[in-house]
Each structure stands twice: as structure tokens, then as C-alpha cells.
Amino acid sequence: MMSAILTTYQGAFLGPIARVLGKILEAIYYVLSLVGIENTGICIVLFTFLVNALMLPLQIKQQKFAKMSNIMNPEIMAIQNKYKNKKDQASQQKMSMETQAVYQKYGVSPASGCLPLLITFPILFALYRVIYNIPAYVNQVYDIYAGVAGNLKDLDITVAQLADFMKTKTYVVTNAVNDAAKTAAKTDIKYYIDVIGQFNQEAWDKLKNMDVIQNAKDAKQVLKEITSTSTRAASINSFFGMNIADAPKVPFVGGNALTLGFSIPVFSVITQIISTKLSMAGTPQQNMQDNPTANSMKTMNTVMPFVTGVMCFMFPIGVGLYWVAGNVFRIFQQLFINLYFSKVDMEEMLAKNAEKARERMIKRGIDPDKVQNYAKTKTSTINKNTGSQPKKNTANVNKAVNKAKKSDYKRPENSKYKEGSIAAYANMLNRDKSQDTKKN
């Protein structure tokens, strides 16, 4: 299990990201408090919307790559089918070179589809950790629990004792107990806050009934402080009548009644299905059938909404609310992206990419016509052998690429190319042609 990102977390990678996101959440809470709204549920929704909005350019970039890949896929799939039963290293290298030649012909980098994911995943993980332990990142919420935490520490009640009041010990609670057990950390109240910050009403009631509190010298004052804090916590954690610190319960099981909290797992499943359907819109069904990876992805997209729905019962409602808010945002985001790309001529965009790629190759001393001819020769051979023909949109792009402005090519002297690369192959063809011309 990964270390929890708490107030004391010093992680070199996710830690700083979580602290930046925590400042954003704290700013949202502060602004809302100025107009008399102190509610962590509303903050979670707005926070999720804002962070996802900031990542929108990356999502558009990823969708752009997916749309362009749809046009290139007939050639890519043909290459993969050609080497389907060839597992030797030489064949795999040839398949890689031919695939790379197709990408270079269209001016598309395979890495451009992965880069947005590499950037967004750490943000999403850090975002989840902030949502999971709001008091650790929002000073106004931290202060609500500080008074009670100080009283509990003065009464020599341990963090481990507080954790026993919770039916499910989350990683936040577990790490707080472990860290508080260290001698140097025993006097730090933030570990107390990490635990009581996740208390539901049942846990607060158990705390009030502790013998050490009932028999304390100033028991009335302590109980008054606990009651006041639990009431304030219930107020800021209330969202449409639900306490986001509670976990949803399966109705009609073990005597559980049907409560509003059950709607969170239901909405999580529904919104994720809709979001997934929208994101998959426009993906050719042929690719899904022929490509094992695509088939696996389709299966995962079908199963994951229900897995997430089940997981909602294992976490506080606040975490499920974060998932639902994220799904709702992505639904509207995907509608916007689909509308945007419906007005974009992807073939024209690929043609422009190809022209830019030509210019880059010329600057690097590579004859772009050799690379393009290499890709066209290989894929045309594949089509002939398999009896398949390129899709119409692919042929149109090829036509647009051929009509693109051609610049004079001159190979720089003493150019060096990596052995086995497309550039080296193209240069070899150019060299052989020059030698044949000299012989003639």
C-alpha cells in the first residue's frame, strides 16, 4: 500500500502536487466561506470541476491523437497482421520500422497519445489523496477539530483508541496510528485530527461515552467541546442530507434501510457508463474486433463502472462524490470535444502534419520522399497480399500528402544516423540512388 499523503507526508513526487492542489481546495473553501457557505461537499464538486478543467487541453490533445489514429489504423493494422505469426527479433524490428514509417509519413508521434496520460495520472492520484483527507490541507477545516484534538491528547487518549471507534480503518487512519506510535510524534495533534476528521456520527457518540471522558475533572467542558465539534463537522460535511464522512450502506442487507447515501454508488455507475460511451464514440468497430488490445480495453470499460460502484461502499461518501463529480464533468467535456472534432477536417490536419514532418526531416538531412515511399511500398504490398484496400479516408490523406509542397532536398555532409532507424534506411536509399547515377 502506498504511503498516505498526510500533513506530514514528505513524498518527493506526489507530495508537492498534493500540496498545490490542497492550496486550491483551501482557496475554494475560503471564498465560499466569505459568502456564508462552509460545506466540504460543495468544495469537492467545485474542486473536481476546476482541476479537470485545467487538464482539458491535455484531454483535447489525447483525443486529437485518437482521431488521427483512426485514419492511420488501416495501415497500422495491416502491418501488424503481416507480422502476426512472426515472433523472431528481425521480424519484430521490421514491423517496428514499417510502423514508424507510417507515423512519420503522417507526421504523428506515437508518444503524443501517452504524454497526456503520463501528466494527468499523477494529478488524479494526488487529487484523490487531498479529497480523502481534507483537514490535512484546508486550515479552516483543520481548526474545527483542533480544540477537541488538544483535549483528547491532554486526557492521554491515544490515536489508536480513537481509531477503534471506526468500523473501517482507512489508510489515512492506519498511517496516523502508526506514525503517532513513534516516540517523537506522540505529542503531535495532527494525527488525532487525521482520525477524528473521518469520524461519522456513530464514532462521535462512542467518543462521548468513553469512561476517561465521562470521569474527567472537566467532563462537562470536554463533552461540550465534543458535541460542538461533531455538530459543526456534521454541518460542513452535509451534502443533500448525506454525511460525506459516512460510508454508503447496501439497503435491505443486515437490517440496513434504504438511505440517500445509496444514490452515490448508483450515480457513480451510471455517470461512468455514459462518460465511457461518449469517449468511445467514433472508434471504428472493426478495430475493436481485430485488435486484442482494443478488445481488452472494451471489456475493461464495461466492467470498471460496476467495480467503481462496489468500491463506493468501501469508502466515505465524499470519495464517491468526487468520482461522480469527475464523471459528470467528463460527460460534458466529452460532448464539447466531440462537437469540436466534428467541425475539424482530420484529413486536412494530417496533411498539415505531414508537411511539417517533411520540413523537420529536411532540416535533419533526411529525404522525406524516401521515408514516404518506404511506407507506401510496404503497406501497398501488405494490401496486395491480404486482399484488403486502404479506407477511403486514408487514401484521401495520402493524396493530400502527395500534393503538399515539396522542398528541395540536399543531404548535409557527414550526417550520422542511428543504425537501423528509418532515417538511416532513407539515407541508404538516397546513397544507393546516387551511386547508381554515377555508374550510369
Would you say residue 83 lies in a domain? no
Residues 434 and 361 in one domain: yes
Take residue 255 and report the three cell numbers written for it: 437490517
- Spans in the chain with pLDDT lower than 50: 1-10, 286-288, 380, 382-394, 401, 403-440
Residue 434: what pLDDT? Answer: 46
Block residue for cell numbers 502527395: 402
Number of other residues whose CB lies within 10 A of the CB of residue 376 = 17
How far is 267 from 325, CA to CA, in rounded Å?
A: 10
Residue where one domain finishes, among candidates 188, 211, 243: 243
Residues 217 and 287 in one domain: no
- Residue 414 has which C-alpha cell? 557527414
Show the domain range for 190: 138-243
Q: Count of domains in the chain?
A: 3
| 131 domain-assigned | no
Claim to verify: residue 339 and residue 352 sit in the same structural domain: no
Measured CA distances, 174 to 128, 142, 311 (Å)? 17, 19, 19
Residue 434's alpha-carbon distances to 212, 430, 438, 439, 440, in angstroms, are 94, 6, 6, 9, 10
Do residue 165 and residue 222 come from a single domain?
Answer: yes
Residue among 44, 101, 112, 103 at smallest CA distance from 72: 103
C-alpha torsion 115→272→66→343, nearest 10: -120
Residue at a domain's end among 195, 221, 243:
243
Q: What local confidence, expressed as pLDDT, does residue 11 receive?
A: 56
Cα separation, 239 vs 243, in Å, equals 6
- Boundary (domain end) residue, out of 321, 344, 367: 344
Residues 239 and 181 both lie in one domain: yes
Cα(47)–Cα(44) distance, integer angstroms: 5
Q: Within this chain, do residues 237 and 259 fall inside the same structural domain, yes or no?
A: no
Q: Are residues 300 and 353 in the same domain?
A: no
